[in-house]
Amino acid sequence: MIIYSSSALEFREKVDSNLLTISIEEAFIKKMGMRPSRGEIRAWNNSMQFMERVIRNSRIADDCGIMIEYNIPATSKRVDFIVTGQDDAGYNNFIIVELKQWDSAKATDREDVVLAYVGGKEREMTHPSYQAWSYRQQLEDMNEAIQSQNIHSYSCSYLHNYRTPQPDPLQSQQYHSIIKQSPLFLSEDTIKLQEFIHKHTGKGNGINLLYLIENGRIRPSKKLIEHIDGLFKGNSEFILLDEQKIAYESIMSEAKEITSKKTLIVKGGPGTGKSVISMNALGGLLKKKLNVKFVAPNASFRTAMVETLVKQQTKNKSRARGLFAGSGQFYNAPADFFDVLIVDEAHRLKGKGAYMYQGVNQIEDIIKASKVNVFFIDDNQRIRPDDIGTVEEIKRIAEMNHSQVFEYTLSAQFRCSGAEGFLNWIDHIFQIRETGNFDGWDQDAFQFLLMDNPNSVYELIKEKVSEGYKARMLAGYAWEWTNAKAGNPNGEIEDVDIPEHDFKMPWNGRALSTWAIDERGLEQIGCVHTSQGLEFDYVGVIIGNDLKYDPQSMRIYADYEEYKDKQGKKGLKKDNDQLTKLIKNIYKVLISRGMKGCFLYCRNPELRNYIIGQLGKVILVETTKEFKAIESSYIKQ
C-alpha cells in the first residue's frame, strides 16, 4: 500500500506550496485509519525538504514516479521514499531511499548493526544501507509485478544531517559489503545521490511503475523458492520422520486447491515435531508459489528458526526473515490476503490488551487474513493468563468465519530421545495429569538427574557444551529481572541468586536474540519465554520458590509472591489453582527442552524431597567428578 504517490513534478510543486506534509498526513489517515505520530510529521517536514532539493537538482524527468511511505505488503515495514523511472537504456527501474535524521552513530562488532541515538536513548539499529537493501530484497522476493515485468531495483540510504567524522563509524570495514550493495549518502554526498537517482530513473516514464508495484500480486519469486529450497536440502534439523511426514502431507493436500476457507489444527505435546512439520510446510507451500508466512508469537523462537535454517549465511538471513512474522501484526490485514498462514506455538496467541497488540483476538486476525490457516498447538503449554490459544477457541472462531476445520494429532515423541514415558512421568509427578508412568520410564532412553546444588547443574551443562552438545541453563521466573534502564540491557546483572549455594547468574540478555545458539548464551539463564519451542541436547533446570509442595495435603502449589512474572500472574492472586496450573506448565516446558537429558535443581526442600520419593532412589551429586562416575555406571546399565 502506498500512503502517498505523485509525479516528480507534482512532488516539487507540493513542496513549493508547503502542502506536501498536509497531503501525506491526509492520505495516512485515510489509508491507515489512524493519525500519524508527531514524530512522523516532524520527519516528513524535515526530510522531504531535503528530498525535494535532491529531486529538483537531479534533473530527472517530470513524469518520474514518487512514492512516500510505501507499506511493504504482508509486513509492518514502510519504505520512506521510492523513485521510479527509466534509465538511458530504457530499463524500468525503482530506487528505495531510506531516510535518516541521525547526526551521529557508533559502530558495533556485529555485522550490519550500529548504535544510534533514537527515541531519547542510544539503541541498536540495523545499518541504514542494510535496512534499505532488506526492503528491496523483500519486494524482489514477493512482488510478482517486479518479477514478471522485469523491473530492476536499487537501494540506498541518505543521512542528510550526518556530517562525516574521521574515521566514520558507519563506513567501518564490517559495513563495506552492504554499502557496496546499497550505497550510503551522507550530508556532503547530496550531489552523488542526485547523480545516482538520475542515472537509474532520469528518463522518466515512471508513473505506470507506481501502479505495477502497488498492485503486484504477492507471491514468492522463483529465486526465493530456489534459495529457501536449497536451505532445507541436506539440513538434518528439518528432516521429517514417520507420522511427521503424514501430518506434513495432510497439510499440503488441504492447501493444494484453495477453493474455500480452511482451518487445520495440528495437536501435539513436547517433542512431537510440530516445529519440524511447520517449517517443512513453509518450504513446501513456497514451492507451490503460494503467498505463505510462518507465524510465531515468540520472537526468540522465530530468531532461532531463521538462524537454524540459514546458519552462517549472514546476507541471506534477511530473505528468510521476510517469511516469518509475529502474531500481533494481522489485526488490520485485508481479508484472505494470504494464501496460507502457518502458526507455530499457537497456544501463545493473545487477546485484547496484550502487550503491544492493537487488535482484539489474534486467532481471529489470522483466520480472517488467510484462506488456509494451520495452527500447531499444545493446550498444556499455555503459561500466562492472556494466552488464549486453545483448540476450543480456534474451532469456535473458525466456525464464526465459515472456515472448515480439520484436526490432526501427533503422538510419537521425538524429543527426549523417544522417551515418551519420561514426559508422562513428569506429568504424573507434577500432578498435571495421572498417567501409567508413576513408577518411572526407560532410563536407557533419557538421562534425568536430580541435583542438590545449582552449581553442579551448571558444571554439567558446561561439560556437555565442551563435549560438543547443545546445552543451556533454564529457570522458572522466580527471580526479578532487572530493567535495561537500570543497567541490565544484556545480562549484566546476576538476578538469579541462590545465596544458600553461593550461586549467581544473569537472565538471558535482552539484546542477545540468538541466546539459544550464541556461545555467550552459556553464561546466562534462559526463561520459558526465550526457550519455548526450542530444543537442546541437555538442559539444566532450576525450579525456584514459585513452585512448592505441601506434605500435609500432598499437593504441589504455586507461591504468588515468589512468582515474579507480573503479566504471568495478572488477575490470579485469588485463583491459586489456575496459577499453579500455569507454573506447572512452565516447568514441564523447561524440562522437556532437552532431547538427551535434564539435570534438575529444586530450591524448595519439600518439593525436592517429594521428587526424590517419586524417583524411588536418591541421586545426589556434589561434583562433576562424582557425576562422571555415576554417568559411567549409568551408561553400563
* pLDDT tens, residue by residue, 505-554: 999 877 666 788 788 889 999 999 888 888 899 999 999 999 999 999 99
Q: How far from each other are the two terminal CA atoms of the chain, in whole angstroms?
A: 65
Q: What is the pLDDT of residue 436?
A: 63
CB 503 within 8 A of CB 515: no
Residue 478 has pLDDT above 60, yes or no: yes
Q: What is the pLDDT of residue 156?
A: 97
C-alpha 188/C-alpha 456 separation (Å) is 59
Residues 6 or more apart from 191 whose CB is under 8 A from it?
57
CB 512 within 8 A of CB 524: yes
The helix-helix angle for 243-254 and 274-287 (nearest 10°) equals 40
C-alpha 293/C-alpha 330 separation (Å) is 11
Count the residues in the chain.
637
For every residue of 23-43, DSSP letters joined together read HHHHHHHHHHSSPPPHHHHHH
Give the per-residue SS3 of 568-621.
CCCCCCCCHHHHHHHHHHHHHHHHCCEEEEEEEEECCHHHHHHHHHHHCCCCCC
Position 564, amino acid: K
CB 125 within 8 A of CB 108: no
Q: What is the pLDDT of residue 629?
A: 44
Confidence of residue 270 (pLDDT cuts 50, 70, 90): confident
Give me the residues paired with residue 7 across strands: 65
Confidence of residue 443 (pLDDT cuts 50, 70, 90): confident
C-alpha 589/C-alpha 625 separation (Å) is 29
Q: What is the pLDDT of residue 636?
A: 35
Reduce the DSSP state of residue 555 to 3 states and report it. Answer: strand
Q: Which of 286, 301, 273 has its CA nearest to residue 376?
A: 273
C-alpha 534/C-alpha 594 separation (Å) is 9
Higher pLDDT, 473 or 298: 473
Reduce the DSSP state of residue 44 to 3 states and report it. Answer: helix
CB 282 within 8 A of CB 288: no
Residue 637 has pLDDT above 60, yes or no: no
Reduce the DSSP state of residue 143 to 3 states and report it. Answer: strand
Q: What is the pLDDT of residue 74?
A: 65
Distance from the Cα of residue 528 to its chain's centroid: 15
C-alpha 589/C-alpha 604 separation (Å) is 19
Residue 197 has pLDDT above 90, yes or no: yes
Give me the residues paired with residue 218 across strands: 143
Confidence of residue 619 (pLDDT cuts 50, 70, 90): very low
Overall average pLDDT of the 454-461 stretch: 96
553: left (phi over 0), alpha (psi -120 to 50) or beta: alpha
C-alpha 130/C-alpha 34 separation (Å) is 29
Residue 624 has pLDDT above 50, yes or no: no
Pick the CATH number of 417-636 from 3.40.50, 1.10.4190, 3.40.630, 3.10.50: 3.40.50
C-alpha 349/C-alpha 331 separation (Å) is 13
Q: What is the pLDDT of residue 595?
A: 85
Cell of residue 382, nine digits: 499455555
Residue 317 has pLDDT above 90, yes or no: no
Residue 618 has pLDDT above 50, yes or no: no
Distances (CA, A) of 301 to 308, 363, 531: 10, 19, 7
Residue 342 has pLDDT above 90, yes or no: yes
Reduce the DSSP state of residue 316 to 3 states and report it. Answer: helix
Of the listed ranges 23-32, 190-199, 451-460, the one predicted with least confidence: 23-32
Q: What is the pLDDT of residue 424?
A: 83
Superfamily of domain 222-409 in CATH is: P-loop containing nucleotide triphosphate hydrolases (3.40.50.300)
Residue 472 has pLDDT above 50, yes or no: yes
For every residue of 420-482, DSSP letters joined together read HHHHHHHHHHTTSS--S-TT---TTT-EEEEES-HHHHHHHHHHHHHTT--EEEEE-S-S---
Cell of residue 277, nine digits: 512439520
Overall average pLDDT of the 218-238 stretch: 77
Position of cell 527471580?
Answer: 479
Position 76, amino acid: S
Residue 623 has pLDDT above 60, yes or no: no
Distances (CA, A) of 355 to 360, 361, 382: 12, 13, 16
Q: What is the pLDDT of residue 626?
A: 46
Tell me: the pLDDT tens digits for 344-387? 999 999 998 888 788 999 999 999 999 999 999 998 888 889 89
Give me the residues paired with residue 97 across strands: 81, 156
Tell me: the pLDDT tens digits for 148-176? 888 999 999 999 999 999 999 999 999 99
The strand pair at 121-126 and 113-118 is best described as antiparallel
Q: Which helix (H) or strand (E) holds 115?
A: strand 113-118
Residues 6 or more apart from 131 whose CB is under 8 A from it?
98, 157
Cell of residue 183, nine digits: 550505497
Q: What is the pLDDT of residue 630?
A: 43
Cell of residue 575, nine digits: 485463583
Overall average pLDDT of the 86-101 stretch: 95
C-alpha 358/C-alpha 332 separation (Å) is 9
Residue 625 has pLDDT above 70, yes or no: no
Strands (E), 8-112: 65-71, 78-86, 92-100, 106-107
Q: What is the pLDDT of residue 440?
A: 65
* Burial zone of 434 (CB within 10 Å; 0-12 exposed, 13-18 middle, 19+ buried): exposed
C-alpha 382/C-alpha 121 separation (Å) is 35
pTM over the 0.75 mark:
no
CB 601 within 8 A of CB 544: no
C-alpha 151/C-alpha 131 separation (Å) is 20
Distance from the Cα of residue 198 to its chain's centroid: 38
Higher pLDDT, 121 or 47: 47
Overall average pLDDT of the 332-340 stretch: 91
Q: What is the pLDDT of residue 51?
A: 93
* Burial zone of 163 (CB within 10 Å; 0-12 exposed, 13-18 middle, 19+ buried): exposed
* pLDDT mean across residues, the chain: 87
Delimit the domains of the chain by residue range: 2-215, 222-409, 417-636
Position of cell 500455569?
Answer: 582
| Cβ-based neighbour number of residue 113 at 10 Å | 16
Position of cell 514459585?
Answer: 546
C-alpha 509/C-alpha 523 separation (Å) is 10
Confidence of residue 28 (pLDDT cuts 50, 70, 90): confident
**Percent above pLDDT 90 for the chain:** 53
